[in-house]
Chain A
Amino acid sequence: MPDVKKIHTPLKEEEICRLVAGDHVLLSGILYTARDAAHARLVELIKRGEKLPIDLEYQAFYYAGPTPAPPGRVIGSIGPTTSSRMDVYTPQLLAAGLKGMIGKGERSPTVIDAIVKHKAIYFAATGGAGALLAQRVVSCDVVAFEDLGCEAIHRLEVVDFPLIVINDCFGNDFYKQSRAKYGMRSGAHGSTTR
């Protein structure tokens, strides 16, 4: 296991600025879940100049929709969903104060620029490790858009949630860096891909 940095939400700028792409992180504090439908509603509210159901300042979103909690459990399974579906909404939310995002997969150049501009940060959680990640969730409450079911905004309290920094506030992209490293080395015998 590589070196790990511990961080907390709300995400202050100095906390974000000490993280770089590729860092392994254990995050504790509050996360808000938001998927496609919740993003669409939040951005619509921002456009209309209306009050949002949650305060975004220094907060972090977890792109995820849990399975229902069986009796006696806090939550079911909760791993990340594909982040790029939120790209179209992300710049407006960063402008409104959101600082952290957790998901899986590459972000668009527009989002990466907005991350640098607003001194924000994008982390990946391991896709498909929903049972493991659920162990780090100590509370879960629906706080907005309840009618959306699993797509509602849930307020999660997490302890030592394992993440890796993908896009830091300096414009680095860990997916690109790591692919270049392993892709190039295998280039010599990768000629079947012509």
Chain B
Amino acid sequence: MLPDDVLRALENALNKEESVTGRNVLEQLIENARIAREQRIPICQDTGITVVFLEIGQDVHISGGTLYEAVNGGVRIGYTEGYLRKSVVAHPLLRKNTEDNTPAVIHAKIVPGDKLVGTIVPKGAGSENMSATKMLKPSDGAEGVVEFVVETVKKAGSNPCPPLIVGIGLGGTLEMACLLSKKALIREVGKPADNPTDAELEQRTIEAINATGIGPGGLGGRVTALAVHVESFPCHIASLPVAVTLQCHAARHAGFVI
């Protein structure tokens, strides 16, 4: 099901879009969300590889099995009993389907407290395949970041099913930037970053992306991105890592607290 924040963003986009074909695509996507909700079928056939973010309070003790087995058990039940597509192969080169969508990609972080907070992001490949990362030079600055993100979106064209939610991971190291760019997708769509520098970068980037003319479905128009979310982290004096995770409009996310 399409989360309410994404649906609202699509409805706002419909007000902004000038292109007839672009409006037609947005109307189809809103109608699609309604049908999926009423008939209880997935909004998109690509029900993704399951990415799970876990925040484990350091006072939590897990007993009766391992946490990762529990997550994968949940994925197995969800994808088989929920009539979701099994889209995971056991080895990238041998490519045999695991038939139950396991294993999930799990990112665990230890945090203060006694709670276990999980966020599930089923990630489709159409947009994931067009994502990219680059180690910029510190002198490239904000301008270099915007340029790289726009270049990535342009190269992706219609493939990642625009309108997009663009997650930008800035700083850290190569793998940290990638992780941040994925984490950026779980924020409520269109909510600006807390850090004013990041929020300003978000604004600048979305304007540049929406000036490309790619539009909904890549068929031309004003709305190529619904939102740009930046997450940043300190980095080395010599580095400016940047990663871009593209997320299609089927930006599914759900969470739980134990």
User: A residues within 8 Å of B by Cβ?
Assistant: 1-2, 22, 24, 37, 64-70, 73, 76-79, 81-82, 84, 104-106, 124, 126-132, 134-135, 149-151, 162, 164, 174-175, 177-187, 189-190, 192-194
Residues of A within 8 A of B146 (CB): 192-193
- For A126, give its contact among B28, B36, B85, B87 (CB under 8 Å): B28
B255 to nearest A CB, angstroms? 22
A56 to nearest B CB, angstroms? 24
A165 CA / B173 CA spacing, docked (Å): 43
Residues of B within 8 A of A192 (CB): 143, 146, 204, 207-208, 211
Give 12 pairs: A residue, B residue, CB < 8 Å, sorted on A: A67-B83, A79-B46, A82-B125, A128-B43, A128-B248, A129-B32, A131-B35, A179-B220, A180-B213, A186-B222, A187-B211, A193-B147
A95 CA / B137 CA spacing, docked (Å): 48
Decide: B45 and A76 in contact? CB cutoff 8 A.
yes
Residues of B within 8 A of A79 (CB): 44-46
Residues of A within 8 A of B150 (CB): 193
Q: Is B219 interfacial (CB 8 A cutoff)?
A: yes
Question: Which B residues between 200 and 258 are near A, CB-CB below 8 angstroms?
Answer: 204, 207-208, 210-215, 217-222, 248-250
A106 CA / B42 CA spacing, docked (Å): 25
Decide: A106 and B157 in contact? CB cutoff 8 A.
yes
- For A67, give its contact among B42, B214, B221 (CB under 8 Å): B42
A72 to nearest B CB, angstroms? 11
- For A65, give its contact among B33, B40, B85 (CB under 8 Å): B85
Q: Is B25 interfacial (CB 8 A cutoff)?
A: yes
Decide: B207 and A182 in contact? CB cutoff 8 A.
no
- For B85, give its contact among A127, A150, A194 (CB under 8 Å): A150
- For A105, give its contact among B31, B218, B250 (CB under 8 Å): B218
Decide: B86 and A150 in contact? CB cutoff 8 A.
yes
Query: Secondary structure at chain B's binding surface: helix, strand, loop or mixed?
Result: loop
Name the CB-closest residue of B to A192.
Answer: B208
- For A104, give its contact among B28, B159, B210, B222 (CB under 8 Å): B159
A90 to nearest B CB, angstroms? 16
Name the CB-closest residue of A to B248.
Answer: A128
Name the CB-closest residue of A to B158.
Answer: A105
- For A127, give its contact among B126, B129, B220 (CB under 8 Å): B126
Q: Which of B83, B84, B95 has the most A CB atoms < 10 Å from its CB?
A: B83
Residues of A within 8 A of B42 (CB): 67, 76-77, 130-131
Binds A, one of B16-24, B62-70, B112-120, B175-183: B16-24
Residues of A within 8 A of B43 (CB): 77, 128, 130-131
Decide: B32 and A130 in contact? CB cutoff 8 A.
yes
